[in-house]
Structure formats: C-alpha cells, structure tokens
C-alpha cells in the first residue's frame, strides 16, 4: 500500500520556490469554505487591497490569477494583445524570450531588443526601436530577470514607453517585495508576479495589475480574448464588483488564505523594510562568497539582492557541488539557465529565506564542499567577512 508523502526538510536558496513562512503554512491548513461564501468574499476584498499595497498602486484591476507566474504572464498578453498588433519586447534572459512566445501566440508581432544575458536592458536600444516602429502599441520587459540575476531600470524604460504612447508591460515575478517597485509612480500599465519568490508563499498564484489605460484596452477589444479562463472581462465579475459576485471558476480557496497571510506579514514588516532586509543579506552573502574566491555574473549596480548569479572556477564540477549541498546540508541552490547554464549558480535570498542564518549556512556549506573538490578556501575567514556586514 502506498504511504503518505512526507517531504524532506530543505533550506530553499534557489531561484524559487523560496522557504514558506510557518504562518503561511498554518493559514493554508485552515478550514475550506465556499468560494462564494460571504466570509470568503470579504477576505478577497482585503486581499485586493493588500496586493495594491504591495504593488504601490490604486489600480482596481489588481487580482491574483489562480495559476503560477507563467499564467500571470499569459493573462497579461492574452488580454492586451490582438492579432496584427506590434509590441517591442526586450530580452536579456530566458523570460524575455517567453514574452516573445506569448506575443506571437496571441497573433502579434514581437520586435526584439536584445542585450547579453547578465546585462540590463539598454534604454538607448529601446528608444531606437521605438523610433523605428512608431506603430508599436506596447513595450514589454523583465524587471528582475530570474535566469541571470540582473535588474533593469524599470522607471526609465516605462518613461520611454509613455513618451512613445506605448503601454508598459512588466514581468515582476522575482521583484515583488524584494526590491523597490512603484507601479503607479513609474507608469506601469500591466504587471505580473508570482507568490513563491519574495512573498514566501506557496507556488500556484500570480498577482497581476492593470492600469485604467490597460483595462480600457481590454474592455474595448475588437476580438474576444483567446483564453476563456484568463479573460479579465469575465474575471472582473468575480473579483472587481460591489454587486453580487458572478461565478467564474472555483478559486483555490486555501491557497488564497496563504497569499492573504503572506501579504499581512509583508504589511507588518513594511515594504521598505523588506527591501532593506533583502539588500543587507545580499551584501553579507556577497562578502562571504567573494572571500571563498567566487564572483558574480552581473555588474554590482545591476545585481538583484534576492537572486544572485554566482560564477565559479572552470575546474569546479558545479552539478556535483549542488548535489553535495542538497545531500549533506539539505540546502538547495539553482543551476544556470539558458545561456548561463553550467556557468553560474543561482542563489536565492527571497522572502522568509532572506535571513542571517541562511547566509551563514550557504557560505559555510559551499566553502566546505568546494574544499572537498580541491578548491582551497578559508571558510572561517569567509564567515568573518559575512559577520562584518551585519555589525
């Protein structure tokens, strides 16, 4: 007879999911009620307000999509892009490529602005593309590229989009609660994120937000949204009305309890404090890793504090290191992705996992495994460098 599944205890310091706060796991276990229950609808309204707080927006169309971040991406493009429309898509990593896929599957044309993996999006290249394509209706880019650990200047890129009368579409899957994000102040028209990164919630939900300008485009489409499930014209009747809620789909009730709790925790800490915590722990990790003789694939000013792309000497068997960390320390870090596969580790410091204890664990465990592989490093000295940052 098959036994119940009991997962091993891990410390999750990869590109996601991140460690889930015990408060969120407790919220997940609360009694399930109906998705049209008045008590649940009251919680939904609070959840929308909390998401507006996290995104720094007053957008009414701010909701969690009942599926992971990839579905949030598809929701944004499926609702905004109609056949024959042109968008400028900036790609400096794997997820910019997925934006292109979505545009094309919606029948649109993607004009690509490309930068090296590990480099931020170049605003000059974007402006050149905008000048060459005055008929473009939107600019799409990844704010925090999870595949490379680089941040692009979202405020500058959104300003350019506005100057050329384009909607600004932003991937913030790894951004939300980790680094500054100002949806209204920066003029972001459509944005999507994920719950399993810096919110430290379980995977499976994708917060999205549409500006009034973007919402008007959705309601005035010439063609129906190609996806029934992701059509926000239908979803608004469930999430965005003061009248009787219309049934659209059976919401993932317990998962939404978990997201509500994660946002309550974020509100208690404060957004700015969350940003500062991620940055402090990143600086401590960087000090320790550099003491071990490791480097970074991203220039210092463009690094993501919550997702570190760490380079290593060529003689290191990077997959063997990751296996040893998991087997000997219960510590998960991520492999490189796309053009950086086999060239970097992706070490996450996201949400609940972004803390002093994990930084010390990662540096000491990594140093011990590297020494076992013949890469000589002083683990005690590396830990001392970590602790200097916290003094």
Which CATH number fits the domain that encloses residue 374? 3.90.1150.10
For every residue of 300-362, DSSP letters joined together read: GGGBBTTEEEEE--TTS-HHHHHHHHHHHH-EE-EEP-GGGTTTEEEEE--GGG-SHHHHHHH
CA 34 to chain centroid: 29
The answer to whether 167 touches 214, Cβ cutoff 8 Å, is yes
Mean pLDDT, rounded, for 208-219: 97
pLDDT at 199: 97
pTM here is 0.97
Question: How would residue 243 be classed by pLDDT, with cut points 50, 70 and 90?
Answer: confident
Q: Which helix (H) or strand (E) holds 235?
A: helix 232-239
Q: Rounded distance, CA 69 to CA 173, Å?
A: 6
236 and 301, same domain (yes or no): no
Residue 17: alpha-carbon gap to chain centroid: 10
User: Is the separation of the CB atoms in 373 and 320 below 8 Å?
Assistant: yes
pLDDT for the residue numbered 222 = 95
If asked whether residues 260 and 275 sit together in one domain, one would say no
- Does one domain contain both 205 and 232? yes
Residue 205 belongs to a domain: yes
Q: What is the per-residue pLDDT for 241?
A: 78
Query: What percent of the chain stands above pLDDT 90?
Result: 97
Q: What is the pLDDT of residue 227?
A: 96
pLDDT band at 244 (very low <50, low <70, confident <90, very high): confident
133 with 79, same domain: the answer is yes
Helices and strands counted in the chain (H then E): 14, 15
Burial of 300-317, coded b for 16+ CB within 10 Å and e otherwise, reads eebbbbbbbbbbbeeebe
Contact between 129 and 101 (Cβ < 8 Å) = no
Q: What is the pLDDT of residue 245?
A: 86
Considering the domain architecture, whether residues 157 and 226 belong to the same structural domain is answered as yes
| pLDDT per residue as tens digits for the range 18-64 | 999 999 999 999 999 999 999 999 999 999 999 999 999 999 999 99
Q: Is the pLDDT of residue 165 over 90?
A: yes
Q: What is the CATH number of the domain that holds 48?
A: 3.40.640.10
Structural domain total, the chain: 2
Q: What is the residue range of 55's domain?
A: 22-268
pLDDT at res. 266: 98
| Overall average pLDDT of the 239-258 stretch | 90
Please, how many CA atoms are within 13 Å of residue 218, restricted to the half-sphere of its CB? 26
Looking at the fold, whether 260 and 300 belong to one and the same domain comes out as no
Biggest CA pair distance of the chain: 67
pLDDT value, residue 287: 98
Q: Which run of H or of E encompasses 372?
A: helix 356-372
Tokens of 179: 């680094």
Average pLDDT in the 102-131 region?
A: 98
- Least confident range from 3-7, 52-56, 139-143, 314-318: namely 314-318
275 in the same domain as 225: no
Mean pLDDT of 177-189: 98
User: What pLDDT, on the 0 to 100 scale, is given for residue 141?
Assistant: 98
- DSSP conformational letter for 220: T
What's the mean pLDDT when you consider all of the chain? Answer: 97
Check whether 242 has a pLDDT greater than 80. Answer: no
Residue 11 forms part of a structural domain: no
SS3 content of the chain, % helix, strand, coil (to 5): 45, 15, 40
Mean pLDDT of 304-315: 95
CA distance 215 to 205: 21
Q: Rounded to an integer, what distance in angstroms lies between the CA atom of residue 233 and that of residue 215?
A: 9
Averaged over 214-221, what is the pLDDT? 97
Residue 11 has pLDDT above 90, yes or no: yes
- Both tokens of 131, joined, read 């000048």
Q: How confident is the model at residue 120 (pLDDT cuts 50, 70, 90)?
A: very high
pLDDT exceeds cutoff 90 at 274: yes
Would the CA dihedral through 220, 88, 123, 169 be positive or negative?
A: positive
Give residues with Cβ within 8 angstroms of 17, minimum separation 6. 196, 197, 202, 203
Rounded to an integer, the average pLDDT of 7-19 is 97
The DSSP result for 136-197, as a single string, is --EEEEESEETTTTEE--HHHHHHHHHHTT-EEEEE-TTTTTTS---HHHHT--EEE--SSS
């Amino acid at each position: 007879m098959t036994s119940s599944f009991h997962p091993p205890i891990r410390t999750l310091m990869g590109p996601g999911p991140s460690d889930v706060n015990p408060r969120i796991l407790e919220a997940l276990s609360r009694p399930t009620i109906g998705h049209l229950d008045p008590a649940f609808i009251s919680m939904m309204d609070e959840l929308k307000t909390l998401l507006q707080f996290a995104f720094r927006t007053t957008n009414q169309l701010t909701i969690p999509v009942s599926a992971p971040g990839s579905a949030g991406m598809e929701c944004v493009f499926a609702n905004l892009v109609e056949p024959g429309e042109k968008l400028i898509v900036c790609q400096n990593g794997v997820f910019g490529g997925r934006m292109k896929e979505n545009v094309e599957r919606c029948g649109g044309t993607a004009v690509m602005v490309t930068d090296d993996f590990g480099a931020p999006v170049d605003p000059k290249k974007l402006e050149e593309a905008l000048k060459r394509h005055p008929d473009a209706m939107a600019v799409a880019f990844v704010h925090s590229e999870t595949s490379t650990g680089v941040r692009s200047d979202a405020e500058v890129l959104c300003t350019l989009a506005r100057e050329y009368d384009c909607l600004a579409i932003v991937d913030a899957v790894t951004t939300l609660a980790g680094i500054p994000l100002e949806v209204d102040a920066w003029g972001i028209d459509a944005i999507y994120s994920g719950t399993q990164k810096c919110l430290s919630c379980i995977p499976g939900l994708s917060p999205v937000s549409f500006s009034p300008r973007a919402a008007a485009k959705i309601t005035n489409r010439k063609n129906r949204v190609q996806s029934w499930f992701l059509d926000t014209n239908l979803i608004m009747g469930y999430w965005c009305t003061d009248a009787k809620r219309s049934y659209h789909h059976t919401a993932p009730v317990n998962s939404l309890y978990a997201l509500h709790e994660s946002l309550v925790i974020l509100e208690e800490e404060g957004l700015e404090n969350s940003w500062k915590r991620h940055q402090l722990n990143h600086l401590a990790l960087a000090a320790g890793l550099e003491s071990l003789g490791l480097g970074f694939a991203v220039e210092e000013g463009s690094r993501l504090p919550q997702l570190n792309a760490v380079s290593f000497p060529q003689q290191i068997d990077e997959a063997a290191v990751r296996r040893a960390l998991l087997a000997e320390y219960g510590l998960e870090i991520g492999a490189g992705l796309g053009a950086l596969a086999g060239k970097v580790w992706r070490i996450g410091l996201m949400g609940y996992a972004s803390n002093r204890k994990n930084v010390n664990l990662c540096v000491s465990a990594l140093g011990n495994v590297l020494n076992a592989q013949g890469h000589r490093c002083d683990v005690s000295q590396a830990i001392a460098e970590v602790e200097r940052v916290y003094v």
